[in-house]
Amino acid sequence: MKIFLGLPASTAAAGSGFIPADVLTSEILPVIKKSRKYGGVMLWSRFHDLQSGYSTSIIGSV
C-alpha cells in the first residue's frame, strides 16, 4: 500500500493548507520520501495547477 501526499495546487484551491513549492521540495519531500509507503503527490485541482504551475515547480523532486 502506498500513501500519496494531497495538496492544494494554489492558495485559491483551499482556504488553508497551502505549502509553497520551494518549502515542499526543500523541507517536506526529503523527509516523506524516506518512507517505504511514499507513493507520490496529488494536487487539488488540475484547474488550479494549470493556473499556478505548481506541478511543474515540484516535478523534479517528486
What's the pTM value of the predicted model, to 2 decimals? 0.91
C-alpha cell at 34: 524516506
* Res 54: pLDDT: 98
Q: Which domain holds residue 33?
A: 3-58
The answer to whether the beta carbons of residues 10 and 48 sit under 8 Å apart is: yes
* Residue pLDDT tens, the chain, 62 long: 999 999 999 999 998 889 999 999 999 999 999 999 999 999 999 999 999 999 999 999 99
Cα 8 to the chain's mean position, in Å? Answer: 7
Q: Which of 54, 60, 62 is nearest to 20 (CA)?
A: 54
**Amino acid making up residue 10:** S
Task: Please tell me what DSSP assigns to residue 17.
Answer: -
Give the chain's domain count: 1
* Res 25: pLDDT: 98
